[in-house]
Amino acid sequence: MAETFDLILRGGVIVNQDGIAEGDIAVRNGRIADIGSFRSNLAAEVLDLAGLHVLPGVIDSQVHFREPGNEHKEDLNTGSRAAVKGGVTAVFEMPNTVPPTVEEASLEDKLGRAREGMFCDFAFWVGGTRDNIDRLAELERLPGACGIKVFMGSSTGSLLVPDDESVERILAATSRRVAFHSEDEFRLRERLAERRENEPQTHTDWRDVQTALQATTRLVALARRTGRRIHILHVSTAEEMLMLAGYRDVATVEVTPQHLTLAAPEAYRRLGTLAQMNPPIREAHHREALWWGVVAGVADVIGSDHAPHTLAEKGEPYPKSPSGMPSVQTLVPVMLDHVNAGRLSLERLVDLTSHGPARVFQIAGKGRIAAGYDADFTIVDLGRRVSISNAWIESRCGWTPFAGTEVAGWPVGTIIRGRRVMWEDEIIGEPGGEPVRFLETLSPVAEPVPAEA
């Protein structure tokens, strides 16, 4: 008797490591069973994807979902709704919550909350601090942990680790890749007077190029000295991108859609404090250097740095206004617009949002369309033109810096482990997210039950 499947994705254009080609994808028990051509009567459900492109599920490795402690801005449920509405199938959430994720109990608390309320799959960064260095080797290997995150600038309390001695101790204590917010805290403190009240464009003057470059220069030297792997988040300067091309043995690189799309001073004139983020939106020549890094292969991943605040908070006069903007939901449409504009190929976008995260973070069973992998798919219509609106945003903050921007290319479906969770802008069913697994820290899981022949 012929093999049967739970789901067949019929006739879509599959974008994967071996190129772009039309085909069918068969799914069984939440995993990809086969790729080819299959009769419709072999599956309980068949989705006709003619004219649509099927990407490996998009993985956003940098989001701030604010729970616990700041649920008035966002929580794990609303953040995950934003993710799947935008075509994102898995997220890595940051540790600067209240309390911070710096020990096993706070990680377990987040995992429990996520299992109950998140629509997408998830993992959590554990904050590296001076106080938990002796426990990092254990903490980074806990189920549900994607690794250690260190703030060299732009944080408070124990999460701020500005000095080389402590950073070196953290690197020496860990074995997985460590992620860094790379801004020099000492220079930030020295330059506080560069901020001018009610002038958000001075955010770039305060957090200048040297603030980022000094921290990243220190980091790559420490990585070489300790023989450890580092991941530089939201690279924003031409100088860093050019330098990091010489450190591919130890450093991987993240860029954000915001830094690839917006530029000073226009962004600050148009958006005011809504354009305020750390590191800042910079002048156009920095943006062009980031695109050079994308084309030349220096950039490894795109992360959204989704960091929502309410409009009331963002409406405070600069510099009282908080830094950060919602962006997980707009990652895919903004980047598809760049694809349609010819700035990068669809294959390169897949490399940055699926293959790259899987490679950099050693994700188990995600990031490719291949037999045996999780059946995670981002379904997109490259021909659809849509004007992004605040009304479309699922984040609790209710706004986006891209409101009013017309994009070419749109996420029309999000499938996670064979289950449709978003289709044509409608979120389907109940939360069902599960922890992402990693090759370096595999924990036992139940084997899927084979379907009857």
Q: Please, which pLDDT band fits residue 449 given cuts at 50, 70 and 90?
A: low
The DSSP letter of residue 178 is: E
pLDDT band at 447 (very low <50, low <70, confident <90, very high): low
Write out the H or E segment, with its range, that includes residue 339. Answer: helix 331-340
Annotation marks residue 305 as catalytic: yes
Number of neighbours of residue 68 by Cβ within 10 angstroms: 15
Q: How confident is the model at residue 157 (pLDDT cuts 50, 70, 90)?
A: confident
Interior/surface letters 303-322, b for 16+ CB within 10 angstroms, e for the rest: bbbbbbbbeebbeeebbebb
Domain ranges of the chain: 58-361
Full-model pTM: 0.97
CB 432 within 8 A of CB 416: yes
One of 24, 208, 305, 376 is an active-site residue; which one?
305
- By the 10 Å C-beta count (0-12 exposed, 13-18 middle, 19+ buried), 30 is classed as middle
- CATH domain 58-361 topology: TIM Barrel (3.20.20)
Render pLDDT for 295-318 as a digit per residue (tens, 0 to 9). 999 999 999 999 999 999 999 999
User: pLDDT tens across 315-364, in order?
Assistant: 999 999 999 999 999 999 999 999 999 999 999 999 999 999 999 999 99
Asked if 434 contacts 121 with a C-beta cutoff of 8 angstroms, the reply is yes
Q: What is the pLDDT of residues 252-287, one digit of tens each?
A: 999 999 999 999 999 999 999 999 999 999 999 999
- The mean per-residue pLDDT over the stretch 70-95 comes to 98
Q: What angle do CA 159, 194, 94 make, to 5 degrees?
A: 25
